[in-house]
Amino acid sequence: MNWPKSVKVIDVTPRDGLQDATGELTSEQKIELCKDLYAAGVPSVEITAFVSPKWVPLMRDAETVANALRDQPDTIALVPNHKGFERALRTGVDAVTFVVSASPIHQRENLRMSLSDSFEQFRGIAQTHASSQIRLRGAISCAFGSPFSTESITPETVADIAREYVDSGAVELSLADTVGVGTPQAIYDTILLVKQRVGHDIPITLHLHDRYALGLGNIVAALAAGVTVFETALAGLGGCPFVPDAPGNLDTEQVVHWLHLMGIHTGIDEHALVHVRKRLLKDLDASMVKQGKLR
């Protein structure tokens, strides 16, 4: 196997890692967390999500966080709809990740609309802001399995959604194993079919959650299929609030360390990551104590 010389790691701790955390960081702590990640060499950070605070209250300070990070490189924010995009646009983020789900049930519970309605909003965003410098990333949740036993998700389903994203204006794709059930074979087959459907010029990111300790094996499969961008979170934090018993993300430190052992460059300082993680967990624990949930 000829491994790539370098891989890009996008840290999603400030968004996915914190959106359903048991502890809560202040806006100032979130901003410092993002700055610390950039200082450690992380090239891109998903800094927040512009979602309804009614559904995800821990992201209610999205504008505060994003506005404070305007001078940082490659800031990414998740948006679920046109309203979220307009909020993100005003803060000057570099990229938005618009999200839909390959699971019809998860799509309704997570986004409160059908897949066709989501794409109608995405097309409107792409057309209205075609001249904007903001990058439009299209994310597909539950790309390798549904949280619900009544649903079966195939690579063809994911490839069809990916094609619609690209036809509608997405310049990057992110495939998410939201449930953490993807296997190396499923990862490999799905990525190849998506590439066949959208072309090899569209960058694909893999966002893995790790239920069965297959995460690193899934990265190997993705590398073999030509993917060189991965989304991870410190300490394996995170999980979708709308997925029962949602598993955490792949651990940023673990992934970076493993890539370095394989001789693959990331540009990230492992020792700096250790300090960022320790500070993050200390702050989360302190918030739990303050709330009376830890003693």
| Mean pLDDT of the 100-104 span | 96
pTM of the model: 0.94
Q: Give the model confidence (pLDDT) of 212-230 as tens digits.
A: 788 899 999 999 999 999 9
Q: Is residue 66 part of a domain?
A: yes
Q: Is residue 2 part of a domain?
A: no
Q: Is residue 1 part of a domain?
A: no
Q: Give helix 215-224 / helix 184-198 axis angle, nearest 10°.
A: 30
Residue 243 maps to which CATH number? 3.20.20.70
Q: Note whether 208 and 239 are within 8 A (CB).
A: no
Q: Is residue 65 part of a domain?
A: yes
| Mean pLDDT of the 259-280 span | 97
State the amino acid at position 68 in one-letter form: A
Q: Which of 13-17, 51-55, 192-196 has the lowest mean pLDDT?
A: 51-55
Q: Is residue 211 part of a domain?
A: yes
Asked about 240 being catalytic, the answer comes back as yes
Residue 28 lies in domain? 8-290
The one catalytic residue in 240, 246, 280, 284 is 240
Structure tokens at 8: 């890009």
Q: Give the model confidence (pLDDT) of 36-55 as tens digits.
A: 999 999 999 999 999 999 88
Number of compact structural domains in the chain? 1
Q: Is residue 186 part of a domain?
A: yes
Q: Give the model confidence (pLDDT) of 26-38 as tens digits.
A: 999 999 999 999 9
Q: Is residue 217 part of a domain?
A: yes
Q: Give the model confidence (pLDDT) of 73-98 as tens digits.
A: 999 999 999 999 999 999 999 999 99
